[in-house]
Amino acid sequence: MNTVMKTYWNMRYNDGCIWGYEPCPSAVMSNDWFHKHRVVNVLVPGCGYGRNSLWLAKQGFYVTAFDVSDTAIELAVEQSRNQSLDIEYHVADVFDDTFLVNRYFDGIYLSNVIHLFLNEQRRSLLDRLTSLLRPNGILTFSCISVFDTNNYGIGSEVESNTFEKHEGKPLHFFSEEELRHVLSNNYEVLKCQLHTQTETDPSGESEELKLWFVVARKL
């Protein structure tokens, strides 16, 4: 278990459901793609406190979701109970390949997680997700783009297009070319589009993120 990440995210989620309860725009867009491709079961890695996994379950998918933060999962489980939603939640590390052994999903939805890692870890994260997706399965994700001028370039550049505002917390900014390259071996890219996500934190401060929304079909 990645204890640095776990400690950091537990501390963030001690303030509760910090970005509110509405699903991300990328979850809403994923819903259409999942229905179009007859997805039945969806995996949501790094689900946080559940704003997207709860919403996807309400759209009729069988949802399995996990996060490295136990504080986040407690919040998610509480909401799913209050709303009588049957969602399989786990506290787990996405890099732990002893978790979800022999489980395969029609769809995977990953919101704002892949950009939190350095190059080698991003590759192994993608490999791990690919191994959990059935052939023809649909991977959708959002990630920060090089066009996010509010955040791009802040801190020290530890790798190409990767900046650390706080030491040990990289943020990688994707170009479309890079996204298509990293997906090219195992996926057909069905959509790669920019969108804006507005995040409002508990103090009421808003931030506009320029994100990619990507839809890819496993070959």
Ligand X SMILES: C[S@@+](CC[C@H](N)C(=O)[O-])C[C@H]1O[C@@H](n2cnc3c(N)ncnc32)[C@H](O)[C@@H]1O
Which range touches ligand X (CB under 6 A), out of 35-43, 57-65, 105-113, 210-218?
105-113
Using rule CB under 6 A, residue 93 touches ligand X:
yes
Residue 103 or 181: the one with the smaller Cβ distance to ligand X is 103
**Minimum CB separation from ligand X for residue 4, in Å?**
9
211 touching ligand X, by CB under 6 A:
no
Per DSSP bridges, beta strands 105-111 and 133-144 are parallel
Which residues, in sequence order, are CB contacts of 181 under 8 Å at separation 6+?
A: none
Region of 140 (left: φ > 0; alpha: ψ -120 to 50; beta: rest) is beta
67 sits near ligand X (criterion: CB under 6 A): yes
| Contact indicator for 91, 66 with CB cutoff of 8 Å | yes
The shares of helix, strand and coil residues in the chain, as percent rounded to the nearest 5, are 30, 35, 35
Q: In terms of CB distance, is 43 or 72 closer to ligand X?
A: 72
Contact 10, 68 (CB under 8 A): no
**Which residue in 29, 56, 72, 214 binds ligand X (CB under 6 A)?**
72
| Residue 47 binding ligand X, by CB under 6 A | yes
Choice from 68, 75, 108, 129 touching ligand X (CB under 6 A): 68
